[in-house]
Every structure is written in C-alpha cells, then in structure tokens.
Structure 1
Amino acid sequence: MSADSVTILAVDDEAAILRFLKPFLEAEGYSFVPAGSGREAISLASSLDPDVILLDLGLPDLDGQEVIKSLPPWSRARVIVLSARGREQDKVAALDAGASDYLTKPFSLGELAARIRALLRRVERQEGAQAATLRFGELFIDLEGHEVTLEGREVHLTPIEFKLLAELARHAGKVVTHAQLLREVWGRHSQDQEHYVRIHVHKLRQKIEKDPARPRHLQTETGVGYRFKE
C-alpha cells in the first residue's frame, strides 16, 4: 500500500495538535483529514472511509471509546489511539473496544510514523490473498497444516499453543490484550483466566525463542497483553 493512497483521519479537540500533525503526515505522503470532535469523526469516517484514524480519547462530546464503537461496521479504518491517558486500564479498554494500537502523549513523530507503517503493512497482508503460511525470519507458521518450523526444524506445539501463536502472528505488530487472546483461543467462558495466557506464552517462548529470557518475537505489554514483533 503506497503512502499516497492512504487517508488518515486525525481526531483531536486541540487545534494545535492537528496543526502539528498535518505537515508531518503530509510530508510522509499521506492524505490528512482533521476532526475536532467525536461526532465529526464518525461522520467523516462514514463519508471518507479513511485507512487510519488517529484518535484522542478526551473529546468534548464523546469519549474516544464511544467513537471506536460507533464506526460503521463496513469501515476499513484501523484506529491508533493518541491519548494523555497512560493508565493500563485505559489502554486495555481502548484496545478491547477495537483500537489497533495505543500511543501515550507526548509521543515522538518518528514513533508515530513507525506505528502507522507497521499498521499499514498488517492491513496489506490481511487484505491480500490470505497466506496459508506466515514467515518471520527463520520462523514459518503453516496456518492450514497447523505446523511450525524454526530454522528448518519442526517445532512441536500443543493445539492451544498453536492457536495462541497463530492469533498473535496474524496480528503481528499489534498489541493483543489478554481478553482478546482468552476470547479467541480459549472461548468467552475463560475471560477471568489471564494466567492461561501467561503460562502458554512462557511455554511458547521456550520453544520458538532463541533466548526465552529476552524474547525476539513474543513481547510483553505489561498489564495489557502481548505483541508479536516481526
């Protein structure tokens, strides 16, 4: 996905933030659309169908989480939250509401640009033909055959370990919350069992990481969940 075909909707009630973001994102090649309120953001998201939404949570009319939940169901937009709220519960709530990533203010423009690029790579991979195999360096994941190889050698995973790894790898680069993992891997009845995730991530690291104490792929987002790093 080329930058000049990407539309970014930036939502913030502080005009200074929007003026700050506009020249930077346009210099990166993106089409920039500002919005100063939640309702304006929902309207623009419906009419323009942007690729990415940069969303502040503290809006004057609607909370940012309400905006995420109010996006049209057909919208292709991925949401990156840009918020001064740095508490773990705020991050978890926004990600569980449907945000793809979360950056706490103040943030560097370089990091924001990197997060946008990573998000667009994920979108491109997901919107293309669904690959039966995912590759991350020497790690191969065969989604159809339920097989994993590392440096050419098969890695023996239990069914739960494979489902967990596949779920994280499908969302590579994105923070996946404990609640999302429990829901997708163990089912909705397991929402209060966060220790399931910790135990099985530990087992996965022993099997696919060269140095499980300093994991390359399976990275912890403290208090929130995990991120599979490409």
Structure 2
Amino acid sequence: MQTRVLIAEDDVRQAEGVRRYLGAEGYEATVVPDGRAAIDAARRTRPDLLILDVMLPVVDGLDVCRVLRAESDLPILMLTARADENDLLLGLDLGADDYLTKPYSPRELMARVRTLLRRTGHRAAPGHHRYAVGTITVDPVRREVHRDGVPVPCTRGEFEVMATLAAEPGRVFTRQQLLQRTRGWESYPTDRTIDMHVMNLRRKLEDDPAQPRRLVTVYGVGYKLAAG
C-alpha cells in the first residue's frame, strides 16, 4: 500500500508541482484547496502525512493544525511564505512536526517528507523503480541519470524530461506533454524550453549530438527515448 500524502495548498500551480513530484517518488498524493477541505479529507482518508500551507482560504493553516492535532497524531509539515520567527514558533506550538519557508526547492521538500515519515514511524514510499533504456538508467527516487554506469548531471527540467521519456520508452511525447512535467520547476516554460532541455541532454548522452540515436526527434510531433 502506498504512503498517502495530503497537500493543502490553494496555489494551483504550486500544488500540482508538489503533487507530481511526490507521485514521481512513489507517494500517493491528493490536493485540497482550502482549510475546511483539508480537515474533512484528513478525517475521511487518514493520510500518512499532511503538507499544510499556512495561508489557506476558508480556514487558515494554523487553525487546521490546531483542529487536527487535537484529534490525532497525523504528521504535519507546514509551508509558509512568512519568515517571521513568531509565526514559525506558533505553528510548532500548535503541533506541527516540521516547518518549511517558501520559496523552497523540491529536493528540500522531499528530504523533509522522508525524514518526517521516518521519524514518526510511517513507512516511506514503497518500491524503488529504475527505468533502463539501452545503456541509460533513470532513477526517479534518487533523481539520478546514468549512462554506461556513469552519473550524468541534470538540471531539474532536464531530469523531468528524461524521467517522462524513460517511463515509456519508444512513446512519442509532444512538447506540450513534456512541458506539463517541467511546469512546476520552470519560471516561464515554453516549447523552446523543452527544445533546450533536449539539446543539452543530447550533449550529455549522445555519442554524436548532431545525429542523436537515443533522444530522437519525431518530426512534427515531438521526442522519444530509444535504446540507441
């Protein structure tokens, strides 16, 4: 059974980015847009962890934390744009297990999630799936790409492109589909962003980037990952 994470975040773009990132690491993630929905969903579904934004509509995150902590020991990771020390202390006093101030990196968020689940005795995401396509391997949990066993450094956007292609080798993805996977981590993504990621990845993965055999262009459609 997958570890279930409830995300209470009213920023649609940010919530979707966190949901995708958790999903890529093997967690079952659900998003709710306000505090009342967070309380209802936590009571109904009994998640293993709640990622809770402080500035929520209807019922704010601090009140959500107060209500749920009185009812259960649900692990709570609070997110806030507030940097004031009093706000941080108040959230912890109300029973939050950890606190993360925006802006934060997805890598830092996932490290906090794993640590909190371990500390509270909840099982981490099951299974450790790696994708192997020819001599390329992609590890979505460790967020690593290897070619011939050698690590290949990738930016966040490049990794999202590789993880998407490697999950379904041979399938052609349009630029728009790949764009959906990078949208949570890029400031102003466009079709050109995907082309740049692919160009950079070819430099790192292809014997001859000018004649790619792994990251293949399907003209008029998009890109696919082949065994080479």
Task: State the TM-score, normalizing by the size of structure 2.
Answer: 0.51
Q: Write the mapping of 1:92-103 to structure 2, written as runs, cut at 5 A.
A: 92-103=89-100
1:14 to 11, 14, 17: 11
Q: Write the mapping of 1:105-144 to structure 2, written as runs, cut at 5 A.
A: 105-124=102-121
Alignment-mate amino acid for residue 61 of structure 2: G
Deviation at 1:76, TM superposition (A): 3.8
Q: State the distance in 1 between where 2:116 and 2:67 align.
A: 21
Contact 1:50 1:76 in 2 (8 A): no
Match of 1:62 in 2: 59
Unaligned runs of 5+ in 2: 123-228
Q: Write the mapping of 1:1-230 to structure 2, written as runs, cut at 5 A.
A: 5-71=2-68, 73-124=70-121
Contact 1:81 1:103 in 2 (8 A): yes
Deviation at 1:75, TM superposition (A): 2.9
Match of 1:208 in 2: none
Q: State the distance in 2 between where 1:77 and 1:48 align.
A: 12
Deviation at 1:60, TM superposition (A): 1.3
Alignment-mate amino acid for residue 116 of structure 2: L
Greater RCO, CA 8 A, separation 6+ = 2
Contact 2:83 2:101 in 1 (8 A): yes
Unaligned runs of 5+ in 1: 126-230
Q: State the distance in 1 between where 2:121 and 2:59 align.
A: 30
Give a deviation string over 1:91-144, Cα, whole Å, max 9, x none.
00000001000100010111111111111111128xxxxxxxxxxxxxxxxxxx
Give a deviation string over 1:159-184, Cα, whole Å, max 9, x none.
xxxxxxxxxxxxxxxxxxxxxxxxxx
Question: Percent same amino acid at aligned positions?
Answer: 39
